Amino acid sequence: MRLKKYTDYALRVLIYTGSSDKKVSIKEISETFFISTEHIRKVVHQLSVNDYIQTTRGRNGGIRLAKKPEDINIGDVVRLMENDFYLVECFNEGENQCVITPACKLRGLLGKAMHAFFDVLHQYTLSDLLANKEELQTLMGIEIEQP
Amino acid sequence: MRLKKYTDYALRVLIYTGSSDKKVSIKEISETFFISTEHIRKVVHQLSVNDYIQTTRGRNGGIRLAKKPEDINIGDVVRLMENDFYLVECFNEGENQCVITPACKLRGLLGKAMHAFFDVLHQYTLSDLLANKEELQTLMGIEIEQP
């Protein structure tokens, strides 16, 4: 049972961006997490298209959250990044060949389990993941803004 | 979000075997579900080693359940077949490189969601999946024992 790598990366991009008091760059996220800039770029694009982050170009450009951390629901982000939920073959109606599909109770049961999974994730927002922001900043080597 | 193919196949092997009043064969399961005999053989081996099914060789040999359907818990079967639960990188302690692991709250959150997923599956046994046994037998072309 795994989530996609891009889901993992998207959550890290949001944690990194939300932990910084300044705009951040693809390069620094990539270097912090040892993930290729190409992967981070794709994830940043998807998060940007879906209004989770804002990217601006140029000298003073960079990435920042497009909304407050408390308005970024973790369940929604995971649902967005996991673009299929084919737990077993019959969830993929286009390719399903399983002969017992019309009578099988497994699909309903797995669907119920998946809902329970997301029900938990929907209870949390990015602000819950940033509750210990200073500790995260230290681990990620993010410069702390002096008051 | 996907389960492994072998988890899907294992559940089908149990549904097929539990639906039949006679011993069944790898060949007939394979033909019914359009899954290669090699895949079914591997799954049957794993289910057999873990005491879910019994296999006997020879002329009157075949596969049957090793216990009552109500004693075969669906959560246990899925846990057995999904041999890793690396939802994100930090679940795999051997290969984890994520720098925020000591402070990150995501792992606990995803772990809680995964428990909710299995809590649902643990509420069901194979007998729940066989509640409409006759309908399943018809779809799988299993001969119904005449009383």
DSSP per residue, B3-58: --HHHHHHHHHHHHHHH-SS-B-HHHHHHHHT--HHHHHHHHHHHHHTTSEEEE-S
Distance CA(A107)–CA(A102), nearest Å, equals 10
* Chain A interface, best mutation among B1, B32, B115, by max A CB count within 10 A: B1
Which residues of chain A fall short of a pLDDT of 70?
A: 145-147
Cβ contacts (< 8 Å) between A112 and chain B: which residues? 120
Q: How many CA atoms lie within 13 A of B89 on its CB side?
A: 19
* Beta pairing, strands A53-56 & B53-56: unpaired
Of B15, B89, B105, the CB nearest to A8: B89
Closest among B71, B82, B72, B79 to B14, alpha carbons compared: B72
Phi, psi of A128 (to 5 degrees): -65, -35
Check A129 against B105: CB less than 8 A apart: yes
Q: Higher model confidence: residue A118 or residue B94?
A: A118
pLDDT of residue B143: 77
Region class of A101: left (phi > 0), else alpha (psi between -120 and 50), else beta: alpha
pLDDT of residue B19: 95
Looking at the domain covering B5-140, what would its CATH class be? mainly alpha
Is the CB of residue B77 less than 8 Å from the CB of residue B11?
yes
Q: How confident is the model at residue B95 (pLDDT cuts 50, 70, 90)?
A: confident
* Domain range annotation of chain A: 5-140
N- to C-terminal Cα separation, chain A: 44
Q: How far is CA B140 from CA A58, A144, B19, in A?
A: 63, 64, 9
This prediction's pTM: 0.90
Q: What is the pLDDT of residues A59-68, one digit of tens each?
A: 889 999 999 9
Query: What percent of chain B is predicted at pLDDT more than 90?
Result: 73
The mean per-residue pLDDT over the stretch B88-115 comes to 90
B14: nearest CA partner in chain A: A106
- Mean pLDDT (chain A) is 93
Distance CA(A15)–CA(A36), nearest Å, equals 17
Q: What is the DSSP letter of A54?
A: E
The mean per-residue pLDDT over the stretch B95-123 comes to 93
Cβ contacts (< 8 Å) between A32 and chain B: which residues? 99
Is the CB of residue A14 less than 8 Å from the CB of residue A65?
yes
CA atoms A120, A124, A129, A133: torsion sign: negative
Of A4, A34, A109, the CB nearest to B74: A109
Closest among B104, B98, B89 to A136, alpha carbons compared: B104
Check B88 against A11: CB less than 8 A apart: yes
Q: What is the pLDDT of residues A44-58, one digit of tens each?
A: 999 999 999 999 998
